[in-house]
Amino acid sequence: MSWRSSFRCSKFRHVFGKPSTKEHSYDGVPITRSVHDNHYCSANPCFIAVVTECAGGGSFLVLPIHHTGRVDPQHPRVCGHSGRVLDVKWNPFDDHCIASCSEDCTVKIWDVPVCGVQQNLTKARKTLIGHSRRVGLIEWHPTAENLLLSSAYDYKVLLWDVSQVGAVLRYPVRVVLMPVFHRYPAEALLLSVSFNTDGSRLAVASKDRRVRVLDPRTGKILQVGFERLLFKVLYIGGFKMLLSTGSSPWNHRQVVLWDPDDLSEPLYEEELDGSAGVLFPFYDQTHTCSTWRERSYNLCGDGNIRNYELSNEKPYISFLTEYRSQLPQKGLGVMPKRGLDVSACEVFRFYRLIAIKGLVEPLSMIVPRKESGIFQEDLYPMTVGNQAAMTAQEWLMGINRGQYNMSAFADTLEIHKITPVSPSATTSSSSSSSSSSKSSDSPSEKTGEKSHRF
């Protein structure tokens, strides 16, 4: 048995959380009192959106990212829903387009003006009507533009192409899951969804306490995990792993790693504590062309945020640091990597919704460096850009492509591991494409370089 040191050298081992002052936070925000387990907040380099409480219908607030300080109680809102808003998500390829889902059984697509919301916005660009009960989850496709996934309490999971003609869309382009012969299976009531990096697979955590991997084009279930209490699931694309959070049989909060190609048993399990809050995992999807050695992810529950590091070797997960706060967070928004302050060595930025104070507090995760104010290339390799890799029709035809990458320092774009897969390809070409994709997923076998970014 080979000896292995318990000390793990990592450039992220001293990462710490730096909360913003009240002057640089968003004060006076009437944060929603909904008990649905969602983030209730979404951010991009231009705007931040927060679901708010209101009487008679549902609304959310859209503020310019630098519009900090006291928020006017009469500030205009996006208020076109007739029921409470349950979640909002910015379009990853359009910083002025946002989707919202609500208890009124609809999903709406909104266009936000460049100058922000100057008056109450009540007319949506698109209204998606395909569910008969409240819509709890929405998720944009990571590589194809205008594709949006929705999941509701009517046991339907639908995929929409929001570029279709018409202000009201009633027919989705794909039905991923739905009841059959008036049977309502618990696996169709989703608690969490996550696409892999190229959008060809969909991981879901369902009410029946199982994690599944689906083909989002056909709805075919490819893998099913054994029963355990799960709440959230997340694709860890760089390692070809799934990470889920939930509770153990002894009611301890738990983190589990899975192999998405074999969910018969977990790769790793770790019990954290006996608290009752739901853990929300966040993972940095930074891509490089070198070996994937280490990445980090965050677990957010109660008022604390824990930073961990992932590796390809057991025990897979290594604890880094923990940010503690006595004020619990109602939800969290995360700034994309292209919106971070690289001069301050900021590697994550959360927006904590502190409902008891009506405060949205930016929290920066910073890696301390002796030479601050300069670009740290090892912390910021090429990251996911804001340009779609293909159209919705190309993806629906069976083509898979990787995400476009851009520099966190300069506005330059590069193409990363584009692997077209044609459904009409022959057997030989399919196997060739599969081997090409495999070598592209693990370029370290050819280069042997070390990864830069967690």
Q: Are 232 and 213 in contact (CB under 8 A)?
A: no
Q: Which residues contact 293 (CB under 8 A, 6 or more apart)?
A: 311, 312, 450, 451
Question: In CATH terms, is domain 16-413 a member of 2.130.10.10?
Answer: yes
- For residues 264 and 424, the model is more confident at 264
In which band, very low, low, confident or very high, does the pLDDT at 82 lie, cut at 50, 70 and 90?
very high
* Tens-place pLDDT, residues 316-338: 888 888 898 888 889 999 999 88
Q: Which residues contact 324 (CB under 8 A, 6 or more apart)?
A: 303, 304
Which of 64-73, 251-260, 294-303, 323-332 bottoms out in mean pLDDT, i.e. has the lowest?
294-303
* Tens-place pLDDT, residues 391-411: 999 999 999 998 888 876 654
The residues pairing with 182 across neighbouring beta strands, listed in sequence order, are: none
Q: Are 290 and 303 in contact (CB under 8 A)?
A: no
Two tokens, residue 331:
């939800």
The DSSP secondary-structure symbol of 17 reads: E
Which of 25-34, 104-113, 376-385 bottoms out in mean pLDDT, i.e. has the lowest?
376-385
Two tokens, residue 221:
């279930």
203-242 exposure pattern, b = at least 16 Cβ within 10 A, e = fewer: bbbbeebbbbbbebbebeeebebeebebbbbbbbbbbbbb
